A and B are shown apart, each in its own frame.
Chain A
């Protein structure tokens, strides 16, 4: 990777990220896909960094998934988002932090629309007032949760129990970073490092000791495009996008993939299973897949959290070989034991993709 060229680009895309008092809004889908991630974010901010993070139980979907699937009109989406801003205002916060990349993209798009068309903002304020009796202030700072972890990457590095170094070889772990399309492809100035070479995940990887892989299809979509996977007839396009990325990154032998979007880890993880079952191909070492982590899961591992508390047992591509490389002390027998001690049952192993270490 020509790092100097990237740094020249990154310095043009610096972004202000609030340092405390976050109004945090969750994603619609992440708690099902990777259930430990958002909890890990809250734990890191509250317990490790002693920051004030507030969640409002009345928060609903931002409707971004419906908007990007062409079933929710923009006017409706704007009113929904105005209601989220009203919840923030009522709670006494002004730094809005989203867990979801599509929410972040939609909030950015709406704030930009209101900036250029104040009459639209006025109309939406009227809609909201008439429908709910609420008023709102616009956020003083809008950030994605990965921006916040990026902001505190040095503090996390200081508390690190594990660095991204292969314990067996002593070499830095090779990491593929994948940014959600709605993070900065829509508004490059809203993302850390811009759209071509976003720095948000690269900064975390570098700070925690890993090495970033630059590969040809780095900025290609993961395949989570809503209209690709929602309609079964189009789902082959989604699979083809992921396959294109895997084939492009596999020759560089990455140790894992790091993502900051709800959909990317889901599809880069699950499609490895689907491709192995359909075509008999695997992309990792020794018949395993390439593990896929969210940035919260990685931060949690770096801070020494138990991998099963982070929800790593629900990944389709097993993360055990990565935990061994990192030197994480984990209990393999507790992998499929719930928090209440109940045995969750072992998943059936896939036909081709290696899932258990001792197979």
Chain B
């Protein structure tokens, strides 16, 4: 088991290395660089910048050096825990990440729990009551969940919240709680806001998970060991939950690794619409303003989280199904 985990971690290192190169190229792809954007901003404000300052800025950020050196500077500092400076927000990226990461993780993890808690029972129900009207209803809802764009769903919920409750559930906290210290009231306020992004981001993921769970369980129920279990006279409940469901869960765990990127994708757009204090919402401006350290750090952090998520999924799978250890 330990060897298996070790092997997985070792596999992740080159992947992360290539991801960082690709991410760096990507961030540097737009024509011009952030310094040009920055200087334009300064001159817009009426500040003139002399050549010497430009040179110092260039030297400070290593812009006068070739691309590969810039990359190693960036990744070296990144590994040391310094993610550079955000030009758009004029703050160290570390501070921004510290401020925005908790909400990002909160939204992501709650969404993950939501999709699983919804998908597994519904999937079981749909498979055991195949072609019943409820099964068909879930299929229709699932299809709609896949087809309605996240951002629009969010908007509709906002408008609905506004017309029904009189205020739109934007953000993660009501204004009076944003800077308040932690308290039960704050927690309740958080939960009042959190359901919107969780529902919006989670719907499409839930829809596809339900279909996978339903399909797997239907396959498993056709197998002979289920027939054996039934002929032994076991109660239907034990047949389903102890024998069938357990064996239908593996592909779902494997799906976990694929699900995380989807949740991050959904979270990025939904955060922008709902104005959530997550990394996704500042990422859009970072990309537009060529705030390269901020955007690059975002891509790196997300990928690291994904790799960690995959690792957890792999370990979970090995626990559930020890056969994977022996291939």
A joins B in a complex: no
Residues of B near any A CB (own CB < 8 A): none
Residues of A near any B CB (own CB < 8 A): none
